[in-house]
């Protein structure tokens, strides 16, 4: 009977558990690491990512903070400057705007202002994205704000392994990282994976992965929309086209070499993200490819993004403004048939 039971090493775990494991393992490894946020201690976080941490590590290392993102980030920055590694949770990534000044004018600039003498080891993380009926205050993908702020690294994983591995890498990085977690993926059973621990689990920042190999068109994305790209790739295969899906995982620094190497084979590009089109990160990827790899393009690149509107609450309207596998399939067919 025992031989039929799964061991801990073979149990598949979800995206949320992967994040929880990464933070707990780093708290164990690094005695100077602390966590700060609203309701992260007694409640265990709005979605349970920090559940059990305060009981294990105490109130001096897992600190419940007042409802003031500016206060939380400012205090965390001060602690990081005094030798702590700090994990900051935003209950929803939408509310990161309330701490914007402390992030972009203070935290992001210390390394530069001190000519590289001062590091700020700090991760600001939180649930992001739509598709769950959260409406305009609980559905944002605002990653482009921080990609535009030198001094910050920006991460958005799509799988449990990457969620854990990138979180460990971010917590060990000497400078600030903004970490976007896709709440629609937190408990998604279909994407559960076996997880490594410690150093074996690390996924380096700044390195993309090829989620699916293909020859006719390159689909580039991150976060939730990677799964829509994979679904679109299945749709395209029924039309006789082979799509390569690249998950960039880290927006800053961006692994454009992997994208360009893919384009050398496929010669066609569709970039997908969940943020609005205007000044979104999909446009940044297209601009870089147009500048650095124009000679490999056999068709104008396309992007599939959210419409330039807040996310509606009503489900049909929410889905109308957001990317989907069908919209990605349509865009890919256009570039393939150009």
296: CB partners within 8 A, 6+ apart:
260, 263, 264, 267
- Taking phi over 0 as left and psi of -120 to 50 as alpha, with beta for the rest, 249 belongs to left
pLDDT, position 5: 39
pLDDT tens for 262-307 read 999 999 999 999 999 999 999 999 999 999 999 999 999 999 999 9
What does the angle CA 328 – CA 332 – CA 334 come to, to the nearest 5 degrees?
A: 120
For 91-104, what is the mean pLDDT? 97
DSSP-derived secondary structure letter, 240: T
Model pTM score: 0.95
From the CB of residue 324, how many other CB atoms can be counted at a distance below 10 Å? 17
Q: Is the link from the previous residue into 253 a cis peptide, with omega within 30 of 0?
A: yes
Q: In which band, very low, low, confident or very high, does the pLDDT at 4 lie, cut at 50, 70 and 90? A: very low
In CATH terms, are 10-201 and 209-336 the same topology?
yes
φ/ψ (deg, to 5) at 164: -70, -50
| Catalytic hit among 32, 111, 138, 320 | 138
- Domain 10-201: state its class: alpha beta
What distance in Å separates the CA atoms of residue 223 and residue 53, rounded to the nearest whole number? 26
pLDDT, position 258: 98
pLDDT tens for 190-239 read 999 999 999 999 999 999 999 999 999 999 999 999 999 999 999 999 99
Q: How far apart are the first and last CA of the chain?
A: 59
| CB-count exposure of residue 83 (10 Å: 0-12, 13-18, 19+) | exposed
Q: List the structure tokens of 34.
A: 């602390």
Residue ranges of domains in the chain: 10-201, 209-336
DSSP-derived secondary structure letter, 312: P
What distance in Å separates the CA atoms of residue 130 and residue 115, rounded to the nearest whole number? 39
Q: In which band, very low, low, confident or very high, does the pLDDT at 9 lie, cut at 50, 70 and 90? A: low
Residue bearing tokens 């384009």: 263
Q: Is 138 a catalytic residue?
A: yes
Q: At the topology level of CATH, where does 209-336 sit?
A: Rossmann fold (3.40.50)
């Amino acid at each position: 009977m025992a031989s039929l039971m799964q061991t801990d090493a073979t149990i598949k775990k979800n995206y949320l558990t992967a994040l929880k494991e990464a933070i707990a393992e780093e708290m164990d490894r690094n005695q100077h690491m602390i966590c700060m946020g609203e309701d992260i201690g007694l409640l265990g976080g709005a979605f349970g990512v920090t559940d059990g941490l305060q009981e294990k590590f105490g109130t001096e290392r897992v600190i419940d903070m007042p409802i003031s993102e500016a206060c939380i980030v400012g205090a965390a920055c001060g602690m990081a400057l005094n030798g702590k590694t700090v994990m900051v949770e935003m209950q929803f990534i939408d509310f990161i705007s309330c701490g914007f000044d402390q992030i972009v004018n203070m935290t992001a600039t210390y390394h530069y202002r001190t000519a590289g003498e001062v590091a700020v080891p700090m991760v600001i993380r939180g649930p992001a994205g739509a598709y769950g009926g959260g409406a305009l205050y609980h559905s944002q993908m605002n990653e482009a704000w921080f990609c535009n702020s030198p001094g910050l690294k920006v991460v958005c994983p799509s799988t449990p392994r990457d969620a854990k591995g990138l979180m460990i890498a971010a917590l060990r990085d000497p400078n600030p990282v903004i970490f976007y977690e896709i709440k629609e993926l937190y408990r998604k059973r279909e994407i559960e994976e076996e997880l490594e621990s410690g150093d074996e689990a690390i996924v380096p920042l700044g390195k993309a992965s090829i989620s699916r190999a293909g020859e006719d068109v390159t689909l580039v994305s991150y976060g939730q929309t990677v799964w829509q790209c994979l679904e679109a790739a299945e749709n395209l295969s029924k039309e006789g086209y082979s799509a390569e899906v690249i998950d960039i995982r880290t927006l800053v620094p961006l692994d454009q070499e992997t994208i360009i190497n893919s384009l050398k084979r496929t010669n066609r590009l569709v970039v997908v993200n969940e943020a609005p089109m205007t000044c979104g990160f999909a446009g940044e990827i297209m601009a870089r490819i147009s500048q650095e790899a124009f000679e490999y393009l056999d068709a104008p690149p396309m992007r599939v993004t959210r419409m330039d509107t807040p996310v509606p609450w009503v489900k049909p309207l929410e889905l109308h403004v957001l990317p989907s596998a069908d919209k990605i399939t349509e865009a890919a067919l256009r570039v393939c048939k150009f």
